[in-house]
């Protein structure tokens, strides 16, 4: 099977090519405010769709609001088959820094309802095709938050439901209330964490969306990956993404960039062919996790 060029069915009925795009980098510093060059950001989004991207990941807190607005401005009316996945459940109080992510969690009904209404308006859609809980709120049981998501789905405001940064136990608690279509956890060649979650997703037809697939850009510069990549006429970023595509048929990729050139490079990872030996070589590398 050619696992590089295939499609994943989100929730069993929503097909997307497994090479998507993460839009978070199209914001100001610290994921706060609009990007410095909005016309460049719109160009990146348009080029992504032109090159066949069918899944774009965003969130209400990217900006906040600016990222979803830019997606609408660049791409509305949306191409048939384009899926925009957004997220709610976080509140941002300022730019993110290493010392202070500037975020708190809120999984209450009042917050999630208001967040969905705002995302619907900013994205210019009547229904959000994939709505993800950005983080589990420690003060609100996940079952309670999932009941709100279930009601929003019954009301037709959201279609499929996803989770982010969750354990297998949390996924199982959520699934006791409502179907879970995707899980978005940190995962990359240098951060091979959540292997148990990935295996669980494979067993249960859940899409696994690794965030920071390039380790925030560090893998694009990786000397460890460079020689194998060069032997396959690929860049380290492409080899790192191709490894993820081969790692599991449930993986949907959302590499982020604010540059058309990097976008084109990353999307070309779809046609990088890695052998079984290449996969084993990459698996055996010990690359420092830059988080
Ligand atoms: N669920 C969550 O909590 C969560 C958290 C973080 C992110 N996310 C999602 O995951 C997506 C991906 O994560 P991410 O964007 O933070 O990190 P990433 O995809 O691992 O890396 C993006 C960084 O790498 C650089 N880069 C990308 N392609 C490159 C290339 N070919 N050569 C050199 N540098 C390159 C980008 O800089 P340039 O702009 O200069 O290309 C950017 O700084 C986000 O966009 C967001 O949608 C979700």
Q: What is the CA radius of gyration of the chain?
A: 18
Instruction: Locate 140 and state its tokens.
Output: 């609100």
Active site (catalytic) residues = 62
- Which phi and psi (to 5°) does residue 75 adopt? -125, -10
DSSP string across 12-76: TTEEEESB-EE-TTSSSGGGBSS-S-HHHHHHHHHHHHHTT--EEE--TTTBTTHHHHHHHHHHP
Instruction: Locate 93 and state its tokens.
Output: 């109080």
- Protein residue with least CA distance to atom 5, ligand 1: 211
Domains and CATH numbers, the chain: 13-217+248-258 (3.20.20.100)
Cβ atoms of 71 and 45 closer than 8 Å = yes
What is the structure's pLDDT at 97? Answer: 87
Instruction: Tell me the CA–centroid distance for residue 144 and ligand 1, in Å.
Output: 31
Instruction: Tell me the CA–centroid distance for residue 26 and ligand 1, in Å.
Output: 10
Instruction: Tell me the CA–centroid distance for residue 42 and ligand 1, in Å.
Output: 17
- Which phi and psi (to 5°) does residue 111 adopt? -70, -45
Where are the strands (E) in 90-224, listed by range? 90-92, 103-105, 128-133, 158-164, 182-186, 207-211
- Protein residue with least CA distance to atom 48, ligand 1: 211
What is the structure's pLDDT at 266? Answer: 98
What is the structure's pLDDT at 66? Answer: 98
- Which regions of the chain are under pLDDT 50? 1-5
What is the structure's pLDDT at 4? Answer: 47
pTM: 0.97
Residue-wise pLDDT tens digits, 70-96: 999 999 999 999 999 999 999 998 998
What is the structure's pLDDT at 102? Answer: 82
What is the structure's pLDDT at 291? Answer: 81
Rounded to whole angstroms, how far apart are CA atoms 113 and 216? 31
Pocket of ligand 1 (CB under 6 A): 22-25, 57, 134, 164-165, 184, 211-217, 220, 237, 254-259, 262, 265-266
């Amino acid at each position: 099977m050619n696992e590089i060029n295939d499609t994943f069915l989100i929730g069993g009925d929503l097909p997307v090519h497994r090479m998507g795009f993460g839009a978070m980098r199209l914001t100001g510093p610290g994921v706060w405010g609009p990007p410095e060059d909005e016309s460049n950001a719109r160009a990146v989004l348009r080029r992504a769709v032109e090159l066949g991207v069918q899944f774009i990941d965003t969130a209400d807190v990217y900006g906040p609001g600016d990222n979803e607005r830019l997606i609408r401005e660049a791409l509305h009316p949306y191409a048939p088959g384009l899926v925009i996945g957004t997220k709610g459940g976080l509140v941002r109080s300022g730019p993110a820094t290493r010392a202070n992510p500037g975020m708190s969690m809120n999984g209450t009904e009042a917050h999630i309802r208001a967040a969905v209404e705002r995302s619907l308006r900013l994205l210019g859609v009547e229904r959000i095709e994939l709505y993800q809980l950005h983080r589990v709120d420690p003060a609100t049981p996940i079952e309670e938050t999932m009941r709100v998501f279930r009601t929003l789905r019954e009301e037709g405001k959201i279609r499929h439901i996803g989770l982010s940064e969750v354990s297998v136990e949390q996924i199982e608690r959520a699934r006791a209330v409502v179907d879970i279509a995707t899980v978005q956890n940190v995962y990359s060649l240098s951060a091979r964490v959540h292997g148990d979650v990935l295996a669980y997703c494979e067993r249960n037809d859940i899409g696994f969306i690794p965030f920071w697939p390039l380790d925030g850009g560090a893998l694009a510069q990786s000397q460890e990956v460079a020689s194998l990549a060069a032997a396959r006429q690929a860049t380290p970023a492409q080899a790192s993404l191709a490894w993820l595509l081969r790692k599991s048929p449930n993986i949907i990729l959302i590499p982020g960039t604010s540059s058309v050139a990097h976008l084109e490079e990353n999307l070309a990872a779809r046609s990088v062919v890695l052998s079984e030996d290449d996969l084993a070589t990459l698996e055996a590398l010990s690359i420092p996790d830059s988080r």
